[in-house]
Amino acid sequence: MRIEFLYWEECPSHEQALARLREVLAEEGIRAPIEIVRVDTEEEARRLRFPGSPTIRVDGTDIAPPPDQPTGLSCRVYLTEDGRVTPLPTKAMIRRALRTLRARGGA
Amino acid sequence: MPLTLASRLIPFALPDTEGRLVRSEDFAAYPVFGVIFTCNHCPYAQAWEDRLIAIQRDYGAAGVRFVLINPNDPAKVPADSPEQMRERARAKRYPFPYLVDSTQEVARAYGATRTPEIFLFDRDRLLRYHGAPDDNYEDPAAVRHHYLRDALDALLAGRPPAVAETKPVGCTIKWRTTPS
């Protein structure tokens, strides 16, 4: 399982999001390393198809695929299960995506 | 550097989302006046938006008035264009003016760096609170310190806020690449 964590330094919650990802991986018994990618320029954002910070991908698939968010250096909008806007994914969101993608990949 | 505590309000005159010119002195009669830099696109601004609306509604009758100012360059963030600001203000039924700081001069004068970022002034228009709305952008139910509400309560009671400054948490202001 390939796990990527992409972030832009100017968004303040990336460390919290990374800690949250690590917690969920540990709780799910997933030992795959996290590839941490710092995105610093608009060119990098385009090349990496970076829709905003933070972004988590599992085997190349975004854990919460953005509907129409353009790529670029920005903070990313997540919607919680109860419809609230938040700047970082919830643990439940990460866990659900990991389980779904793991089942799909047979990992 | 942001405006320091006890500094005097820096007057401004900016258009709102309906094209009307709004001046800071229009609110001279209100005992507490909040200047809040915010924007459309930022998830932190969105996360706190409903709480700011609720606070304005809760404290309006007591004489509290907020104005929201969007300083972002729409060339960098199209979601922060005046048209999109108008749509948002109407859709969310903003109980406060939402002003367009197209030259970014007001944000620069205040030393604002983030959205949202609050500058709260007392009756004499001296800065008494600067910072974030509260301590939890993610979950309103998990807030432990209601910085803005506490500051309003203190000012309306004639006291200085116990917590006068917190770190603004949000997206960086999207400055123009070239000065206007």
Q: How far is B132 from chain A (nearest CA, A)?
A: 13
Q: How far is B168 from chain A (nearest CA, A)?
A: 10
| pLDDT tens-digit readout, B158-175 | 999 999 999 999 999 999
User: Would you call B44 and A76 a contact, using CB atoms and an 8 Å cutoff?
Assistant: no
Contacts of A76 in chain B (CB under 8 A): 43
- CA-nearest residue of chain B to A90? B138
Per-residue confidence (pLDDT) for residue B1, from 0 to 100: 86
Here the ipTM equals: 0.89
More confident position, B177 or B56:
B56
A105 — pLDDT class (breaks 50, 70, 90): low
Contacts of B77 in chain A (CB under 8 A): 74
Per-residue confidence (pLDDT) for residue A101, from 0 to 100: 82
Question: Parallel, antiparallel, or unpaired for β B127-131 and B98-100?
Answer: unpaired
| pLDDT tens-digit readout, B71-87 | 999 999 999 999 999 99
A78 — pLDDT class (breaks 50, 70, 90): very high
| pLDDT tens-digit readout, B19-40 | 999 999 999 999 999 999 999 9
Q: Looking at residues B106-134, what average pLDDT do you find? A: 98
Per-residue confidence (pLDDT) for residue A81, from 0 to 100: 87
User: Does pLDDT of A107 surpass 70?
Assistant: no
User: Would you call A74 and B41 a contact, using CB atoms and an 8 Å cutoff?
Assistant: yes
Whether the link from the prior residue into B2 is cis, omega within 30° of 0, is: no
Question: Parallel, antiparallel, or unpaired for β B127-131 and B117-121?
Answer: antiparallel
Per-residue confidence (pLDDT) for residue B179, from 0 to 100: 54
Is residue B127 a contact partner of residue B9, using CB atoms and an 8 Å limit? yes
Flag whether residue A10 sits within 8 Å of chain B, measured between CB atoms: yes
Per-residue confidence (pLDDT) for residue B178, from 0 to 100: 67
User: Would you call B46 and A11 a contact, using CB atoms and an 8 Å cutoff?
Assistant: no
Tokens coding B120:
């709260």
